[in-house]
Amino acid sequence: MSHITPEFKLISEWIQPNSRVLDLGCGDGQLLQHLITTYGVTGYGMEIDSAKNIQAIEKGLNVIHSDLNSHDLCDYFDKDSFDYVIMTQALQIVSRPDELLEDMLATGKQIIITFPNFGHWRNRAQLLFKGHMPRTDTLPYHWYDTPNIHMCTFNDFEALCEEKGIEVVARTVVNVAHRKTLGMSIAPNWLGEVALYKVQKKTA
C-alpha cells in the first residue's frame, strides 16, 4: 500500500467500503487511489492543475480536468450521484465556497471537507500584535500571492452550515502534524490548525 498523509488517513476512517466517491481537487490522486485499493470505492477525481492531472492519470484513475470556478458540479453529475464528495484543503481557494458547498451537497449524500483554521491563536496573535496578515506553517503565503482567498475559522464554517441547514455529522480538529491534543478538544477554534468535517443536509 502506498504511503498516505495523516490527513488522508483520517478521512479514510470516515469512508464506508465499496462506496462511490468524488474527490474535488484530487491533486495527484493519492487519496482516491488509496480509497480504491484499500476500501474498494469507485468514483472520479477532479483537478485543474495539468501536472497533477497527468500524475492522477498515471495512477490509472478516472480524472476530470476541470476548473470548479467556471463549471458547476451539476454540469457533470446528477443529484446524489455519490456517497461522499471530498474536498481537501481547497474550500478556501474557490471563488464562492458557499455555492460550491451547496453543489457538493446536491451531488453527494455526505461531504467531507478539510481546511485550515484562520482562528488559530497564532494567526490571531500576528494580526493583533504585529498588525500583519498571518504567515504560518499552515498558511505560508503573503497576503498578495496567497491562493487562499476565502479563509474562515471553524466558527465561521459552522455558522455557514447552520445558515444553510447543513448538519455536522463528524468533526476532527488537529494540529499541522494532524495530531489531536486535549487543548484542541477544549478550545478547537483557538488551538486547532486544520479541521476535517463530515456534513450532510439536515433531514427535515
Partner 1 sequence: MTTELGVITPQTLHIESPLLLSSGLILPRYDLTYETYGQLNASASNGILICHALSGDHHVAGLDANNKPGWWNEYIGPGKPIDTNQFFVVCSNNLGGCHGSTGPATLNPDTGKVYGPDFPIVTCRDWVNSQNELRKHLGIDQWAALIGGSMGGMQVLQWAIDYPDKLKHAIVIAAAPKLSAQNIAFNEVARRAIMTDPDFHEGRFLEHNTIPKQGLAQARMLGHLTYLSDDMMGAKFGRERRKEELQYNYEVEFQVESYLRYQGEKFATTQNFDANTYLLMTKALDYFDPASEFEHDLSKTLALATAKFFVVAFTTDWRFSPARSHEIVKALLDNDADVSYAEIGSEHGHDAFLLPNDHYEGVFRAYMQRVICDMPSQDTKLSTAPKAEK
Site for partner 1, rule CB under 8 A: 42, 44, 50-51, 53-55, 57-58, 60-66, 75-78, 81
- Sort strands 194-201 and 108-116 into parallel, antiparallel or unpaired: antiparallel
**What whole-number distance in Å separates Cα of residue 191 and Cα of residue 95?**
27
Which residue, 162, 87, 92, 94, is CA-closest to 123? 92
Residue given cell 496573535 in the structure block: 125
Min dist. Cβ of residue 90 to partner 1 (A): 18
Min dist. Cβ of residue 77 to partner 1 (A): 6
Whichever of 29 and 188 has its CB closer to partner 1, that residue is 29
Helical spans, DSSP H, in 40-192: 50-58, 97-107, 121-125, 154-163, 182-186, 188-191
HSE-CB of 40 using CA atoms within 13 angstroms? 3
Whichever of 35 and 191 has its CB closer to partner 1, that residue is 35
Min dist. Cβ of residue 6 to partner 1 (A): 27
Whichever of 73 and 195 has its CB closer to partner 1, that residue is 73
Min dist. Cβ of residue 4 to partner 1 (A): 21
Whichever of 81 and 148 has its CB closer to partner 1, that residue is 81
